[in-house]
Structure 1
Amino acid sequence: MGIDAGFVGATLTDWAVEQPDSVALHCQQRSIRWADLHRQVEHLAACLFRECGDHRAIALDLADPLRLVVAFLAVGRSGNRALVLDTAWPDAQRDEIERQTMPDLVLNTALFDQWLAATGQAGLAVPKPTADQPFYVGFTSGSTGMPKGYRRSHASWLASFDVSRALFALQPGDCVMAPGSLATSLHLYGVIQALHAGIGVVLVPQFRPRSVLQAIEEQGVTALYGTPTQIKLLLHSAERYAIAPAHTVRHLIISGAKWPDDTRQALRQPFPNAELTEFYGTSEMSFIALHNEQSRAPVGSVGRAVPGVEVRIGASASTPLATGERGRIWVRSALVFDGYECGGGDEIARDGDWLTVGDHGYLDKEGFLYLVGREKRMIVSSGLNLYPEEVEAWLVQHPAVTQAALLGVPDELRGYRIVAVIQTDETNVLTDSLRQHCRHRFPASQLPKDWYFLEHWPLTNSGKTDFVALERWLRVVQAGIGPDKAIPS
């Protein structure tokens, strides 16, 4: 079996022969079997190659996850690169992305259906792409601004597939679900890696926790990819609706933020047989560090570097800092991206073979990596550098807090004044309790000066906090025209 074939999706030919009538993709009442998946991908790839040739940018404007997966694989097979557009983007944001990327073709639902129904493509020979060709352009969540378009080659994802196969122990017979928008790299990667390995996939059109839990039970899902926010919502829904435990789930693969250390046991109620694997990575660098039940990391750590990945800390990769000192996180591996199709920023830098995306952290003497925050979110208040992520992670450990964000508000005296925005399930949570909780871990200079409470927490489509929306809401509240509550210290 050619698992390590030269392009993503090359193994569909083998799976179409070995398990032609087994279900490859299932979404609600629709299914695609392996033989049909291979046929549709080859047919659509021929249409794309006839229309565009290769080495072109093909934008995918497809809300239906079944169509999106087929189209994504077909674009890669045709030797082109798929720009996976988020159909939930506002019109202005989408127009700006298209202006910056200038795709050669936009493949929408009407064109997809027209081409899939067309005949006469069987005799067209489509050259196989090479491993170094870019095949995917994804877009960051835009949680702190306009999304950046990052470009990945077949080789970088194939190298990541090797890591997944070694660390997640998934194999044919498993059933994978990544219940989120396929416009985000975590969910799309989980789906495509499974198909490349001959593993069936269950898709959901939208992330609705109760429906997701029902689909897990009905389809016998064994492996679940998700962000911490998504998994928390599943926990809450299972408890609220008294949904029976999902005994089939054996793997919970979590990324996007740190899972709270003191709530790991809560996973046992809805997923009693699941092993939790957490990994830290970025869209540009794929896997960086990982820990699971066998390699438990110390509290606060995201684990050790995955096999084949090197990590250094410092202002540059060539001048690494001593153990325990904080600085930029630099990574060297075969998993990293090629570059940006659009966007980027000063926080992204290369030092020879090393890459940083502006995350900051430190390594302990055992090689465990700790994150302290992102360069782009760092707040300078009274001359001191504050990484909001550290305080946010500690605040959500408070029993009354479900979500937390720290923001910097311009201040004539301090430069920036630190404020906290909190979501809580309790009606009478006291700010004194939250302040005292923070004082256990942080000096007074890092404590929020004002506390705001928000009922409906804004999230991006990838399940992360939408900081742009939070800042917009905060400006409205501070102007005195918002309904939510603010408590100054």
Structure 2
Amino acid sequence: MRDDTAATADERFVGATLARWAVEQPTVVALQCQAQCLCWSDLHRQVEQLAGRLHTELGVNRAIALDVSDPLLLILAFLAVSRSGNRALVLDTGWPDAQRAEIDRQTRPVRVLDNTQLMLLLENSEQKPVPTPEPTPDQAFYVGFTSGSTGIPKGYRRSHASWLASFELSNRLFDLQPGDRVMAPGSLATSLHLYGVIQALQAGIGVVLVPRFRPRTVLQALGEQGVTALYGTPTQIKLLLQTAQRDALPALPELRHLIISGAKWPDDTRQALRQPFPNAGLTEFYGTSEMSFIALHNDETRAPEGSVGRPVPGVEVRIGPSAQTPLTTGERGRIWVRSALVFDGYECGGGDEIAREGDWLTVGDHGYLDEQGYLYLVGREKRMIVSSGLNLYPEEVEAWLLQHPEVTQAALLGLPDALRGHKIAAVVQADDAKASAESLRQHCRQRFPISQIPKAWYFLEQWPMTQSGKTDFVALERWLTVVQAGTGPDKAIPS
């Protein structure tokens, strides 16, 4: 792997390396989305032109919203806003109107750019870029938004320095090489996919984009474009695997890296990945939008079953009610993190589960550390269900349900109950129409006490997902409310 330490000493902002790649590999394709292509020299020139225009018109340290559906245009605009010394609010074009209006009200961007406006700006840019001062490492350049799976998205703000530190770690952990081609085939409004694209470009690695996540289209692009590294959520990788198996598609031997985050990858399906991706190593990392990388493991550093790996270099982890009162090994509690990778703060939103103690930060995830330093997640504070006075982390039961051979998706929700406070309900998507509540109850009894086993079971054919490829819990709760009121179709199995 090349050592760019000396070369990047003065490249102190996200996108600073574009100038170098425009000189060293000017005609090599940097970005490709179907028939659209940008080589490194054109990418650098257009970023500089647009950045100069934005800097001249708006100044610095302003919020510029990007309401852009074209992924290539979005990356171009994102890099230009970063270069101009402003911060890019990357909006999700799939948000409902009410949600979008609330985000606009809370963030008050000085300008909103969409596909049409960006095209006009690029067409009318000066031939020679306007000289633009370089941003400083401590400036905020990016505001991303949580997926909104449990409510109105929170806008988290990141500085150049935090992403540059993450880039340095990625270079060490993911072993991407010159000549690799990266794909992150999900909504670029989510931090996983956007980060994967920008990190590759920062390292001089070409990127293949797709307009939207469609499994067969993604598999076709992987083969045709010679993609060697793929970022994705477990749901996305599972859909690719199912499509490849169902359609008997040819294997993709050029893919060498599968980089997965967003949830735990089921250990029992690792071998199945060898069929479509025979040469791909699997890297899983646990992180959050606010804290970046926390823990990681891969095929060489396999973690024990259920673990998300050991903390990555430079990241400290403590478990406890506060960072100053850590619990003993094996005890469950809040996960506190200290590193140079964490976010600056929220542009909008937040919650009681987010807390800082000096340099330590928690976002409300709960877990524990074992004697070897491996980290285990048990759930999120805001999803915890209190039933009959006991605390239940839905994620533990959901992960076990997904080990059932007939279950493809699972979610636990708490229903109001006069006796228990909340009654635990499971919503399940199953491959086999013969899947029964009783078989799933028996499956749960292998691992959990009766108090943690759902009391009601619901089967749903069309599973609601957010743009980031995660379960949309707001939609599930809405559906379950309709079903309980008797005003909508369902297949419900009472306890």
What TM-score do the two structures reach when normalised by structure 2?
0.98
**Does the 8 Å CA contact 1:47/1:121 hold for their aligned counterparts?**
no
Deviation at 1:217, TM superposition (A): 0.2
Of the structure 1 ranges 100-109 and 220-229, higher mean CA displacement relative to structure 2 is found in 100-109
Could you tell me which residue of structure 2 aligns to residue 58 of structure 1?
Answer: 64
Letter in 1 for 2:331: E
Are 1:108 and 2:114 an aligned pair? yes
C-alpha distance after superposition, 1:170-190 (max 9, x if no partner): 122000000001000000000
Deviation at 1:481, TM superposition (A): 2.0
Are 1:388 and 2:394 an aligned pair? yes
| 2:159 paired residue among 153, 163, 169 | 153
| 1:327 paired residue among 299, 323, 333 | 333
Distance 1:123 1:137, change over 3 A: closer
Could you tell me which residue of structure 1 aligns to residue 254 of structure 2?
Answer: 248
Are 1:421 and 2:421 an aligned pair? no
Are 1:212 and 2:218 an aligned pair? yes
Partners in 1 of 2:220 and 2:99 — Cα distance?
A: 34
Partners in 2 of 1:483 and 1:182 — Cα distance?
A: 34
**Does the 8 Å CA contact 2:52/2:129 hold for their aligned counterparts?**
no
Are 1:285 and 2:319 an aligned pair? no
Alignment of 1:178-197 (within 5 A): 178-197=184-203
Of the structure 1 ranges 105-114 and 239-248, higher mean CA displacement relative to structure 2 is found in 105-114
Are 1:464 and 2:470 an aligned pair? yes
Give ranges in structure 2 of 5+ residues lacking alignment: none
Are 1:99 and 2:101 an aligned pair? no
Deviation at 1:124, TM superposition (A): 2.6
Partners in 1 of 2:8 and 2:409 — Cα distance?
A: 41
Partners in 2 of 1:285 and 1:3 — Cα distance?
A: 24
C-alpha distance after superposition, 1:71-97 (max 9, x if no partner): 000000000000001111111111110
Could you tell me which residue of structure 2 aligns to residue 365 of structure 1?
Answer: 371
Are 1:318 and 2:324 an aligned pair? yes
Letter in 1 for 2:459: F
Letter in 2 for 1:108: D
C-alpha distance after superposition, 1:96-136 (max 9, x if no partner): 10100000111122221111111436363210001110000
**Does the 8 Å CA contact 2:320/2:336 hold for their aligned counterparts?**
yes
Give ranges in structure 1 of 5+ residues lacking alignment: none
**Does the 8 Å CA contact 2:50/2:125 hold for their aligned counterparts?**
no
| 1:265 paired residue among 254, 271, 275 | 271
C-alpha distance after superposition, 1:204-256 (max 9, x if no partner): 00000000000000000000000000000000111111110111000000000
C-alpha distance after superposition, 1:418-460 (max 9, x if no partner): 0100000101112111111111110000000000000000000
Alignment of 1:38-187 (within 5 A): 38-120=44-126, 122=128, 124-187=130-193
Letter in 2 for 1:10: A
Find the residue that maps to 2:270 and give its secondary structure: helix
Distance 1:12 1:123, change over 3 A: closer
Letter in 2 for 1:194: A
Could you tell me which residue of structure 2 aligns to residue 202 of structure 1?
Answer: 208
Could you tell me which residue of structure 2 aligns to residue 227 of structure 1?
Answer: 233
Distance 1:446 1:6, change over 3 A: same
**Does the 8 Å CA contact 2:48/2:129 hold for their aligned counterparts?**
no
Are 1:346 and 2:342 an aligned pair? no
**Does the 8 Å CA contact 1:3/1:196 hold for their aligned counterparts?**
no
Letter in 1 for 2:188: L
Find the residue that maps to 2:15 and give its secondary structure: coil
Partners in 2 of 1:129 and 1:175 — Cα distance?
A: 28
Find the residue that maps to 2:253 and give its secondary structure: coil
Percent sequence identity is 76
**Does the 8 Å CA contact 1:41/1:70 hold for their aligned counterparts?**
yes
Partners in 2 of 1:90 and 1:37 — Cα distance?
A: 32
Letter in 2 for 1:99: R
C-alpha distance after superposition, 1:274-308 (max 9, x if no partner): 00000000000000000001110000000000000
C-alpha distance after superposition, 1:60-80 (max 9, x if no partner): 111000000000000000000
Partners in 2 of 1:170 and 1:378 — Cα distance?
A: 38
Could you tell me which residue of structure 2 aligns to residue 33 of structure 1?
Answer: 39
Could you tell me which residue of structure 1 aligns to residue 407 of structure 2?
Answer: 401
Partners in 1 of 2:125 and 2:32 — Cα distance?
A: 25
Alignment of 1:10-21 (within 5 A): 10-21=16-27
Could you tell me which residue of structure 2 aligns to residue 433 of structure 1?
Answer: 439
**Does the 8 Å CA contact 1:46/1:121 hold for their aligned counterparts?**
no
Q: How many residues align?
A: 489
Letter in 2 for 1:103: P
Partners in 1 of 2:219 and 2:344 — Cα distance?
A: 37
Are 1:412 and 2:418 an aligned pair? yes
Deviation at 1:410, TM superposition (A): 0.4
Letter in 1 for 2:49: H
Letter in 1 for 2:141: F
Letter in 1 for 2:353: E
Partners in 2 of 1:437 and 1:117 — Cα distance?
A: 60
Find the residue that maps to 2:397 and give its secondary structure: helix
Partners in 1 of 2:199 and 2:242 — Cα distance?
A: 29
Find the residue that maps to 2:31 and give its secondary structure: strand
Are 1:337 and 2:338 an aligned pair? no
Letter in 1 for 2:121: W
C-alpha distance after superposition, 1:332-360 (max 9, x if no partner): 00000000000000000001100000000
Partners in 1 of 2:118 and 2:348 — Cα distance?
A: 25
**Does the 8 Å CA contact 1:46/1:126 hold for their aligned counterparts?**
yes
User: CA RMSD, aligned part only?
Assistant: 0.8
Find the residue that maps to 2:200 and give its secondary structure: helix
Letter in 1 for 2:68: L
Partners in 2 of 1:109 and 1:427 — Cα distance?
A: 44
